[in-house]
Chains A and B, each alone.
Chain A
Amino acid sequence: MEARHDSTAHKHAADHGHGHGHHEPGFLGKYIFSTDHKVIGIQYAVTSLFFLMFGFCLMMVMRWQLAYPGEPLPLIGGWLGEARMPGGVMTPDFYNELGAMHGTIMVFLGVVPLGVGGFGNYVLPLQIGAKDMAFPKLNMFSYQFFFVGCVLMMSTFFLPGGAAQSGWTSYSPLANINPGQTGWIVSMIFIITSSLLGAINFIVTTIQLRTKGMSFWRFPFFVWAQFVTSFLLLLAFPPLEVGAFLQLMDRVTGSSFFLPSGLVISGHPLDVAGGGNPLLWQHLFWFLAHPEVYVLILPAMGIVAEILTNNTRKPLWGYTAMVYSIIFLGFMSFIVWAHHMFMTGMGSAIAAFFQTTTMIISVPSVVILAALFLSLWGGSIRFTTPMLFALAFLPMFGIGGLTGLPLGLTSSDIHLHDTYYVIGHFHYVVAPGTVMAFFAGIYYWYPKATGRLMNETLGKLHFWITFLCMNGVFMPMFWVGLAGVSRRLYDGGASYAHGQHVLWLNGVSSWSAWIMGAAQIIFIINFFWSIRGGKAVDKNPWKSTTLEWEAPSPPPHGNFLTDPVVYRGPYDYSPRGYSADFRPQAQEA
């Protein structure tokens, strides 16, 4: 389904294109089994956009139960089957299934493949002046592994017992005994393999395939962001793979890696050898999942940096500081993972260490955000649709980051952990933050991929509704969370006596989510309509300096008509004593 969407998208794009290099492979070779980084990028992007929407739909169903606990879901309630929604009322098991799969899909099937697989694959080789990725076949395999992982993950909904129900974090021992987890693990092994292949490819491409004159300090910030992200993927995913293997052993062979001795479930002692350590799973999981948080946010920062400088017509403020910050951020992200585990009883000495590293890692994040804000100062800003989304990223990510500080301090975390405050916090980083940046990126690079602009009016309409509703969804969660409502309650807090005065906010969140869901239809229409109906533009519609705009739109197989040579840094906007207000990297001095 996604592959077909993608192929039509690309085919139309190619109709307006400029030839296809030396070979004319057949339909399958060109769109399904392509080794061209641009086609693979579009495959990733369309697949992950589909999953972002799908994951959001799961959440929209859950939000009914949270706003109107125990009431039958109108219309759709009947479609989901008597087993899961008897009489249209959601069962707790189904609620858990939706929650676990929402998290898993959004993170592993949506945001990461869009940010890295989609934007990274499409834009990075173009921005460094490469003709393709270093290992085109591995790149194809990377997408195929990902796709198989996605299909397997979706198929778990139809297995007996349903999909995974233990949260995207799959904490043991719960995940050892809940149904659906085995399918989750097997799918994850495919997705991890896909990430690994992608990460190696990005690193080698960035180091080796830079065009003449493209030194590291002339990289656009987006390339730096992808480069650092690749190292995180390369080194952080294997420990989760180990965790997955161990959990699979526990489930299939009956070992007790994550099962302590004397575990009693529903009044019955569990018949296992015991002697395992449930905290080990959390360590293995968060050793991946904290760097993963930066895998989610770094590509977004890269996208925003590109769009901000382009639309302020000014160089990026503090480029060097930002590069050092992002490298430091990548490094530090490996030693903050246990701040997710303050309340697990791992001990206050370890908690103190991770609290300290957590405070340290906020410094480079603030440097990057501050540099992006300062880049606006004195610019003559063009409020294009991509710029609106990029501008929205700044305060949204700022709110997400600042609300994280009380969670990173052990004492305030005692009150806040596992409440809706946490959900509000990390969603502000990932949803109003990263997803807004991704929308910005789609509107920005769409003319490169298709040769046509997306419709500005529809784009701005999409932006304003999404922006307002996004805050409507997540802002109330801070109040609900501060009142102490746990994020794990299936009734949205109705059973929690002290939280009754804030429960009306659940309705605000839910209605905002539904309106926002409806607003995405505008985006979908714009996305597909503009393939044919958008305004046709030349190769550089935004008057940008970076190399991807030197290639024709859409770029042919092999990308550039002549090998570009780079003469200067990435953001030479409004140079003194120059006729135009931008001087491209490939412009001879």
Chain B
Amino acid sequence: MSAELIPYITEARPDTGLTNGKIGIWCFLASEVMLFGAFFASYIVLRTSAAEWPHGSSILNVPMATLNTVVLITSSVTMVMAWASLMRNDMGKYRLFLGTTVALGFCFCIIKYFEYSAKFEHNLLPHTHNFIALYFIMTGLHAAHVIGGMITNAYFLVAAPSYLEHDRDLLINRVENSGLFWHFVDLVWIFLFPILYLL
């Protein structure tokens, strides 16, 4: 139904050179920048107006977070390779790389789980200090984004055969957009990591 009503889903509009989805995802990412940007701004305000503020590395687990940084960056690489394999119509590699991306996302969440439970054990809860509270809300919201990205990617892994039957270009577009989101989530972590763990 929508295909006959809505043009420029898979082919770019000549004068803008873009598909609808591409503009849509960039708009969405712009609002995400404002979301996390407001968190970072709140972090600055709270930290500068607080009487005392702990050094991140004295409370948080830096080695685990470093490992998580590596995991996420690797997953961004495999995400691009999945998309590139799809472009070349190499479905075996597409499944391998996209599967790895999802698995690495899962890995990230497992490590996060161990980090969180260690905090719970030591009774480092949001009501003890605003730093801990910020740590939970910022990394928690980021983890929610990781899970969202994992679900989307897992869907494109499972649904790929049916896409290939009727509209391969649509799958390529959507995997690209899903990749943009995944890279963005990765990028947010690149900012979260130093601000919370190192500074």
Contact = CB atoms under 8 A, between A and B. Distances in A.
A155 to B, nearest CB: 25
A256 B35 contact: no
Contacts of B41: 239
A57 interface: no
A350 to B, nearest CB: 13
B127 A273 contact: yes
Looking at B27, B41, B126, the one whose CB has the most chain A CB atoms below 10 A away is B27
Nearest to A23: B1
Looking at A208, A253, A276, the one whose CB has the most chain B CB atoms below 10 A away is A208
Nearest to B46: A277
B21 to A, nearest CB: 8
Contact of B42 (A22, A131, A280): A280
Chain A interface, DSSP helix/strand/loop, else mixed: helix
B30 A235 contact: yes
A84 to B, nearest CB: 33
B96 interface: no
Nearest to B25: A200
Contacts of A243: 38
Nearest to A236: B34
Contacts of B51: 261, 275
Nearest to A36: B5
A363 B6 CA distance: 39
Interface string A200-241: 110110011100000000000000000000000011111101
Interface in B114-136: 125-130, 133-134, 136
A168 interface: no
A235 B28 CA distance: 9
Chain B interface, DSSP helix/strand/loop, else mixed: helix
A479 interface: no
Interface residues on B, range: 35 or more
B141 interface: yes
Interface in A485-520: none
A324 interface: no
Interface stretch (B12-20, B68-76, B187-195): B12-20
Nearest to A133: B6
Contact of B129 (A196, A241, A273): A273
B33 to A, nearest CB: 8
B50 interface: yes
Contact of B34 (A135, A235, A261): A235
B32 A238 contact: yes
A17 interface: no
B148 interface: no
Contacts of A196: 28, 31
A204 B39 contact: no
Interface of B: 1-2, 4-8, 13, 16, 18, 20, 23-24, 27-28, 30-32, 34-35, 37-39, 41-42, 45-46, 49-52, 125-130, 133-134, 136-137, 141
A204 B24 contact: yes
A286 interface: no
A283 B45 contact: yes
Nearest to A135: B24
A280 B7 CA distance: 44
A208 B42 contact: no
B80 to A, nearest CB: 24
A243 B5 CA distance: 39
Contacts of A199: 27, 31
A282 to B, nearest CB: 11
A300 interface: no
Contacts of B2: 35, 132, 136-137
Given A234-B31, A257-B46, 6 more contacts: A241-B38, A245-B137, A253-B125, A254-B127, A279-B45, A280-B42
Nearest to A253: B126
A414 interface: no
Contacts of A136: 2, 5-6
Interface residues of A, number: 47
Interface in A271-296: 272-273, 275-277, 279-280, 283-284, 287
A201 B8 CA distance: 14
A239 B38 contact: yes
Given A203-B27, A209-B7, A284 B42 contact: yes
Contacts of A255: 126-127, 130, 133
A135 B8 CA distance: 11
Contacts of B32: 238
A243 B141 CA distance: 13
Interface string A414-443: 000000000000000000000000000000
Nearest to A245: B137
Interface string A11-26: 0000000000011000
Contacts of B49: 277, 280
A253 B134 CA distance: 12
B34 A132 contact: no
A234 B133 contact: no
A343 interface: no
Contacts of A272: 127
Looking at A199, A277, A287, the one whose CB has the most chain B CB atoms below 10 A away is A277
A367 interface: no
6 contacts: A131-B5, A132-B6, A207-B16, A253-B133, A275-B129, A280-B49
B35 A238 contact: yes
B67 to A, nearest CB: 27
Contacts of A208: 7-8, 13, 16, 18, 20, 23
